[in-house]
Amino acid sequence: MTTATHRRPLAGLCAACVAAAPLLAAPAMAADSVKIGFVYFLSGAGAAYGSHARDAAALMVDALNAGEVPAPYDTVGINGVEIEPIYIDEAGGVRKQIAEYRRLVEREGVDMVLGYTSSSNCNAIAPIVEELETLTNFFHCGNPGLFEEVEPDPHYTFRSAPMGTMDQVALARYIADVYPDTKTVSGVNQDYSWGQDNWAEFTAAMDALDTGATFKNALFPSLGAGDYGSEISALASDPADITFVSFWGGDADALMLQSAARGLGDSTRFAFTLGTGVIDGLGNNVIEGTIVGARGPNSYLAKETALSSWFADAYQETYDRYPPLGAYVAAQGILAIKAAAEKAADGTGALPETDAIIAALEGLTYETVNGYPISMALHHGHQGISDTVYGTYTGWDDEANAPVIEDVKTYDAKCVNPPEGVKALDWIESGFEGASC
């Protein structure tokens, strides 16, 4: 575990606008291209997150096709084959997404699909992935149930992003390390598998670490509720030392703004597992003292390497802002597939067979644009793990036009992720048996 203070450059707080409707590419050019369906939230509350992912995907596709990405990704496209993207909006609910997935595979003839932020969508689509036998990388949804319950024996289904379990365990460790006097905790989480799993894992982790904290309010507003007046009133009437929040996208921004307006930050310290995403959207309107994570060591918590510096500079030059959280995870999803395909290839200029890419991706460790490698170490090589980072937002540096994040601590992947073959909650409740911290 390491400690640091981060000040990351941020050119502006407004992202370039993106089209909310699906963007369809021309028909596939057979062996001349690899056709990929990219699925991100481009409308609704999720667009506050997904639009940046779409921007990063477009940037990466162009840069890869031009051979402009630094080593080890400096070959053109994927193994010398240019990428042909089709962009789809993830908004609209589960039924719509199942229909869109089938359309991508059966009508558009994509070679693979990368995307999906919502855990509900991932859970619903995973069985369809296996039915249609199409390589699919869920670049970001984090619920442990995806492989523990929904698709326990995956072949075509991968998730290159670590599970959300890492967020809860690392946050509990961070609180124990940095705020050991914490006596009470409340939670506000979205009322579906993502929020429910997160609260269960976080409270179990706090207990397993013998923090001595007790739990007050456990609130579960609906996804996309937008108005959190009743939740804020409940928290204000019985404030806890720390309030745990796993909201994402527009919901996270709305809760932060409404809480700030009512002075809730004066009576509780917020801990947002996707806090750097809130900073992306709100800048200096974030409540000072908020604990922030980034679904891994992303965004302002990234480590400087040649690849990460290239990505930050390229994104800032293209979109006139520092890359947000969603941009990082979208980029790593593409690089996972590229690294596996090129490992499986026999020479350049052709896309390997799907099963060869799958075999190469299972157990693969690959470099990412946040400076930390991801290892496909769980669920028989279909689930990634990585180190993760937390810090505390303490204000805005006007001269650098960047947030100041202090007490930054890094937690090793094998400290905050369960070992192979063990369910996440069972591992936490065992007292993290097998963890290497």
Give all domains of the chain, ordered by start, each with its CATH number.
Answer: 2-163+302-385 (3.40.50.2300), 165-296+388-429 (3.40.50.2300)
How does residue 346 score in pLDDT terms, banded at 50, 70 and 90?
confident
Q: How many angstroms separate the CA atoms of 117 and 46, rounded?
A: 9
Measured between its terminal Cα atoms, the distance across the chain in Å is 8
CA angle, corner 52, sides to 390 and 424, nearest 5?
45
* Encoded tokens for 373: 């490698």
Task: Give the chain's mean pLDDT.
Answer: 92
Q: Read off the pLDDT of residues 379-420 as tens digits, 9 standing for 90 and up.
A: 999 999 999 999 999 999 999 989 999 999 999 999 999 999
Whole-prediction pTM: 0.89
3-state secondary structure of 38: strand
Burial class (CB in 10 A: 0-12, 13-18, 19+), 431: exposed
How does residue 31 score in pLDDT terms, banded at 50, 70 and 90?
low
Q: Read off the pLDDT of residues 128-160 as tens digits, 9 standing for 90 and up.
A: 999 999 999 999 999 999 999 999 999 999 999
Q: Read off the pLDDT of residues 202-221 as tens digits, 9 standing for 90 and up.
A: 999 999 999 999 999 999 99
Strand 291-292 with 388-397, pairing: antiparallel
Radius of gyration of the chain (CA): 20
Q: Is the pLDDT of residue 6 over 70?
A: no
| Cβ–Cβ < 8 Å for 366, 360 | no
Please report, for residues 220, 225, 252, 292, 326, the alpha-carbon distance to residue 287 in angstroms, rounded to integers and kept in the order given: 21, 21, 12, 11, 21
How does residue 193 score in pLDDT terms, banded at 50, 70 and 90?
confident
Cβ neighbors of 312 (< 8 A, separation 6 or more) are 9, 302, 322, 323
